[in-house]
Every structure is written in structure tokens, then in C-alpha cells.
């Protein structure tokens, strides 16, 4: 008799029949195990939630009064006939891969992840398994991140130059994860750091958890913007270019995202600078993470799914694309590469069909996630 898979893919989300629970469901269910607090993975309407201790406070802040239980990394819980544990994903503070074992067979749902430590999130830990569910937000060879210290140096030098010229520096960064990563990397000796309310609310939650962040000033309606000339202001991308930001006068605008690796995205955002900083794995990290799991079966969710799954099959994996409603990293739902810029370099020929890479944008048949309380719309990072 054929044994039922450890995890199945349904219209409500990733389901475990042996434990009767879902992982990051996008429709209301009784029991939801959550990888992290971003709005496309942690949605309201679930009967019960289970997440890591570190993810819990942000989830309560965003979702309100929910029935939430939390666990430590590595702690094993028995749910029905399934053994479940959470392991660091390196995406944002509290993010986790969820390991599910049934009858000796192990599957891992990664949620979103990156393998390079950022000094803020719990560092990614490879988890051995038979089947691995992976994202592919940046699943093309063109996406290869610079070392973080180089990007940090670029940001601080840009801010210093703007301050000397009397300009305010604005960085667009999602309020959970990316904003705190940018904040933690700033040289506070350059000047004051101001934050949008959505960012500062998340800062307060993280500080209450014991996460150390530089001092910041919340931007309120009665703030004297002219008294903070040369400051750094961190805000959700949607706030930049609005009346909220225009009151600061002379300013320079930058965005922190993996999509800043593509000139077309930078051009459409009309920012002065683009800093390539992502909370998702690049091409090399994706391949390395998958290899370290030892898994033979790979399921590819959001991102460049078709291209990445085909590449994995060519490497000898049993890979398939699964449809989900996860968003990946976005800039106000604008996270699609212009076709000409999704091409691969000559050195990558043979890895991915250049013609397909040119023609294919990140796969996204998903609907926009229902806005949760206090999210400011940051579904993707």
C-alpha cells in the first residue's frame, strides 16, 4: 500500500495529513504552523497558531489577539502522528524552517530563507531531509549578492555625503526585518536616525525581546522636519515620494532590496540609489542550501519557479513546481524583473537556457495577501 506523503499541497496551504495541520496557510484553517511573521506567511483567521518564541511577539503585534503557542528552536513537538520542530531560516528574526517527520520520513518546509548571516537574524541551519520545499525568489544565476560589509559601507558613505550637502537620506525598507537590518548597520555617529511609525512599531517589539538596535526618533505629525536636516530616515517603500516624506525638503532616496541588482527596477523606482540587500537567498545560496539538506525531492514555490525547477532536475534532483500564494521579496508589488535584465551572463550559459530566462518573469499566480493589522503592506520581505 502506498504511504500518504508527509506533506501535501492543497488550496488552503501546505498540509500534513498525519498531524492534521497546515504550514503557512493562505486560507483559514484550524491549526497553522508559521515560519515567520511576514503577511504572506502569517495571516489572520486561523484557529490556532504555532511559531518560534522569537516570531511570537511580532505575530501578536500584527495579527492581534490570536491563539498562539510558541516553541524554542530545535524543540520537538508531537502533533498527531507527526514529529515537528522549528530550525533557523536566517530570513528575519524568529524565522524558521519547519521539519516534519512521519514514520521515519522527513520533509522540511523552508518558508523564506537566506544562508549568509546578517548579524540580526538567527543564522540559517541546514536540516537533513528526504524532501525540501524551497523558495526561488532570486532563482537565476544573475542574482549573486555582494558581501554585506560592502553594502553597509556604501549606505553609510551615501548618508555621510548627503548630510554634508544638507540633504535628508531616505531608505525604503520593509518594516519587519529589512528595516531593522539596515538600522543595525548604520554608523550612528553620522547623524540622527528617524523612522516611519510602521518601522518604529516593529522596532519597539524587537527591543522588548532584547534585540539591540541603535536609538531612533519616530516621525510624528508635529516633528520639526527642518530641524533634522541630514538625518537618515527609514520608511516602508510606499511612504517615499509621498507628502509624508516631502516635508523634509532637500532629500536623496535609496531602496534596499535584492531587486536593486536590476537596473530596470531601480529606474522605475525613481530613487537616487539602490542598495542590493536581500533577506532571501541568492542563486548560489539556494543551490548550496538544497545540497546541504541531502534531499532528493525538491518542491519549488514562489519566484523563478519553472527555470529553477528545471535546473534542479538537470542536476539530478526530482524537482517540481508547486503553486502557493507566497509573494517573495517585493517593492510594492513591483518585484518583477524587466525581461532584458533577467538574462544570464555568458559564463552561466548551460546552467539556464538564456532564452527562457529572458522571457520569464518571477512566477506569481498568487493573490495579494489579506492585509493584517499593523502590517503596512509588507508581504514580501
How confident is the model over 198-216, as pLDDT tens digits? 999 999 999 999 999 999 9
Same domain? 114 vs 238: no
How confident is the model over 104-133, as pLDDT tens digits? 999 999 999 999 999 999 999 999 999 999
Q: What is the pLDDT of residue 362?
A: 56
Q: List the domain range (segments joined by +) for residue 165.
A: 148-275
Q: What is the pLDDT of residue 311?
A: 98
**Would you say residue 350 lies in a domain?**
yes
- Compute the average pLDDT of residues 265-274: 77
| Whole-Å CA distances, 227 to 71, 184, 191, 224 | 45, 24, 12, 6
**Which class for 52: exposed (0-12), middle (13-18), buried (19 or more C-beta within 10 A)?**
buried
Same domain? 253 vs 310: no
Same domain? 249 vs 319: no
**Would you say residue 370 lies in a domain?**
no
Same domain? 254 vs 304: no
Which residue carries 495529513 as its cell? 17
Q: How many domains, the chain?
A: 2
The CATH number covering residue 215 comes to: 3.40.50.10890
Same domain? 271 vs 283: no
What is the pTM assigned to this prediction?
A: 0.88
**Would you say residue 379 lies in a domain?**
no
- Compute the average pLDDT of residues 164-185: 95
Q: What is the pLDDT of residue 1?
A: 56
Q: What is the pLDDT of residue 247?
A: 85
Nearest to 9 by CA among 328, 310, 321, 369: 321
Same domain? 50 vs 172: no
Last residue of a domain, one of 227, 246, 275: 275
Q: How far apart are CA 374 and CA 284, in angstroms?
A: 34
- Compute the average pLDDT of residues 297-317: 97
Which residue carries 509588507 as its cell? 378
Q: How far apart are CA 137 and CA 274, in angstroms?
A: 18
How confident is the model over 86-101, as pLDDT tens digits? 999 999 999 999 999 9
Amino acid at each position: 500500500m502506498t504511504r500518504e506523503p508527509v506533506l501535501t499541497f492543497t488550496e488552503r496551504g501546505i498540509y500534513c495529513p498525519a498531524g492534521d495541520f497546515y504550514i503557512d496557510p493562505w486560507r483559514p484553517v484550524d491549526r497553522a504552523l508559521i515560519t515567520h511573521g511576514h503577511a504572506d506567511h502569517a495571516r489572520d483567521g486561523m484557529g490556532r497558531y504555532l511559531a518560534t518564541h522569537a516570531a511570537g511577539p511580532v505575530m501578536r503585534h500584527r495579527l492581534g489577539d490570536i491563539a498562539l503557542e510558541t516553541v524554542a528552536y530545535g524543540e520537538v513537538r508531537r502533533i498527531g502522528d507527526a514529529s515537528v520542530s522549528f530550525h533557523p531560516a536566517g530570513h528575519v528574526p524568529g524565522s524558521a524552517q519547519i521539519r516534519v517527520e512521519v514514520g521515519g520520513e522527513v520533509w522540511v518546509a523552508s518558508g523564506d530563507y537566506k544562508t549568509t548571516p546578517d548579524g540580526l537574524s538567527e543564522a540559517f541551519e541546514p536540516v537533513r531531509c528526504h524532501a525540501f520545499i524551497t523558495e526561488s525568489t532570486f532563482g537565476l544565476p544573475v542574482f549573486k549578492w555582494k558581501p554585506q560589509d560592502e553594502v553597509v559601507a556604501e549606505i553609510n558613505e551615501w548618508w555621510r555625503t548627503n548630510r554634508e550637502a544638507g540633504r535628508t537620506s531616505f531608505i525604503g525598507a520593509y518594516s519587519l526585518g529589512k528595516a531593522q537590518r539596515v538600522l543595525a548597520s548604520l554608523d550612528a555617529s553620522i547623524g540622527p536616525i528617524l523612522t516611519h511609525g510602521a518601522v518604529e512599531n516593529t522596532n519597539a517589539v524587537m527591543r522588548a525581546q532584547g534585540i539591540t538596535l541603535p536609538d531612533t526618533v519616530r516621525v510624528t505629525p508635529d516633528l520639526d522636519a527642518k530641524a533634522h536636516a541630514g538625518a537618515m530616515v527609514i520608511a516602508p517603500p510606499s511612504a517615499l515620494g509621498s507628502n509624508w516624506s516631502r516635508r523634509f525638503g532637500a532629500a536623496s532616496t535609496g531602496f534596499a532590496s535584492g531587486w536593486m541588482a536590476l537596473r530596470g527596477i531601480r529606474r522605475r523606482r525613481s530613487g537616487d540609489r539602490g542598495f542590493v540587500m536581500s533577506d532571501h537567498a541568492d542563486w548560489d545560496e539556494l543551490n548550496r542550501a538544497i545540497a546541504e539538506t541531502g534531499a532528493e525531492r525538491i518542491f519549488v514555490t514562489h519566484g523563478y519557479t519553472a527555470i529553477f525547477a528545471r535546473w534542479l532536475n538537470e542536476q539530478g534532483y526530482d524537482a517540481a513546481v508547486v503553486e502557493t500564494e507566497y509573494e517573495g521579496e517585493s517593492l510594492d508589488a513591483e518585484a518583477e524583473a524587466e525581461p532584458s535584465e533577467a538574462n544570464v551572463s555568458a559564463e552561466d550559459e548551460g546552467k539556464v537556457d538564456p532564452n527562457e530566462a529572458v522571457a520569464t518573469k518571477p512566477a506569481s499566480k498568487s493573490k495579494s495577501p489579506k492585509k493584517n493589522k499593523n502590517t503596512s503592506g509588507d508581504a514580501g520581505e
